[in-house]
Amino acid sequence: MGFVKFLGTAGARFVVGKQLRYSAGTWIELAGTRLLLDPGPGTLLRCRKSRPPLDPEGLDGVVLTHKHLDHSTDVNIMLEVMAELGHRGKKGVLLAPRDCLEGEDPVVLRYVRKYPERIDVLEDGSDLDLGAIRLIPVRHRHGDAETYGVILDSAEGTAGFVVDTRFFPELPERYVGCDLLVLNVVRLKPSPGIDHLSLPEAAEIIKVVRPKLAVLTHFGMTMLRAKPHELARKLTEELGLEVIAADDGLTVEARRWLD
Ligand SMILES: [Zn+2]
């Protein structure tokens, strides 16, 4: 049975820097295909310390939504471990926006690019084949960093990830049809000029998409102080569907969004 495991739930510079929450990525296993989304600082360590352990050498792919450090620091080591440990050769897929690979400041080291079997560039409107999973990138608006959310479609349901972005009116409808919806909610309240979602904006998206289960993650200080579990409980009552807040290490099994 598929599952999503939140290895880290930290979302803003202060929370990441102080490691108030871990900043590791999200492990996704759907229909037997294993992906690691956004390997931030500590991802390799959190995989190894996970109980039961998650072996990165068993990964089929690594997905980078954008180049910011809290999403990409461990990408190089994860690509090496995916390919080299136990397998010793090219293995898996890297999916990343173009500016993670080209331009002045690419975060994927050139010498590491020999490890994956394939490198797919994320682009709006593309539809990528990962064996048992179909991946659809959704362009976000997140400052200068080219950023994509992803929709993963598989025999074990459709899982949508809304990552770092400012709210814009066309965003919610892109995720309609998702059974599971995961949202990076950095801030408690909206404020102009900030390229992150706030809680009311996340609620707006959930209201339109109406997934079977919504999970809030990637918290900044204002969210942590306001107690994410209580905020999620209130949203569950308001919206009439299940909303939960992720903790470090939370595993959500596919039966929760397939029932
Ligand atoms: Zn970011």
Condensed to tens digits (0 to 9), the pLDDT of residues 165-184 reads 999 999 999 999 999 999 99
CA of 11 to the centre of ligand 1 (A): 8
- DSSP letter at 114? G
Please indicate, yes or no, whether the overall pTM of this predicted structure exceeds 0.85. Answer: yes
CA distance 124 to 126: 6
Q: Can you tell me which residue has the tokens 């200068």?
A: 144
Percent of the chain past pLDDT 90, that is, above it, reads: 94
Are the CB atoms for 16 and 41 separated by under 8 Å?
A: yes
The count of domains in the chain is: 1
pLDDT of residue 12: 87
CA of 66 to the centre of ligand 1 (A): 7
CA of 198 to the centre of ligand 1 (A): 14
Residue 227: CB atoms within 10 Å:
11
Does 229 have pLDDT greater than 90?
yes
Are the CB atoms for 220 and 15 separated by under 8 Å?
A: yes
pLDDT of residue 115: 96
CA of 142 to the centre of ligand 1 (A): 7
Residue 240: CB atoms within 10 Å:
9
Q: Which domain holds residue 207?
A: 3-258
Which CA distances in Å does 151 have to 52, 60, 181?
26, 17, 9
CA of 252 to the centre of ligand 1 (A): 24
Choose among 110, 122, 17, 23: nearest CA to 65: 122
Does 8 have pLDDT greater than 90?
yes
Are the CB atoms for 91 and 66 separated by under 8 Å?
A: no
Residue range 137-148: average pLDDT?
Answer: 97
Does 248 have pLDDT greater than 80?
yes
Does 22 have pLDDT greater than 80?
yes
CA of 120 to the centre of ligand 1 (A): 20
CA distance 90 to 76: 14
pLDDT of residue 41: 97
Q: Which burial class, exposed, middle or buried, applies to 86 when counting CB atoms under 10 A from its CB (0-12, 13-18, 19+)? A: exposed
Are the CB atoms for 182 and 160 separated by under 8 Å?
A: yes
pLDDT of residue 86: 74
Does 132 have pLDDT greater than 80?
yes
CA of 136 to the centre of ligand 1 (A): 19
CATH of the domain at 43: 3.60.15.10
CA of 86 to the centre of ligand 1 (A): 33
For residue 252, report the phi and psi dihedrals to the nearest 5 degrees: -115, 120
CA distance 160 to 158: 7
Residue range 87-93: average pLDDT?
Answer: 89
CA distance 51 to 40: 19
Q: Can you tell me which residue has the tokens 């180049």?
A: 67
pLDDT of residue 55: 95
Residue 156: CB atoms within 10 Å:
24
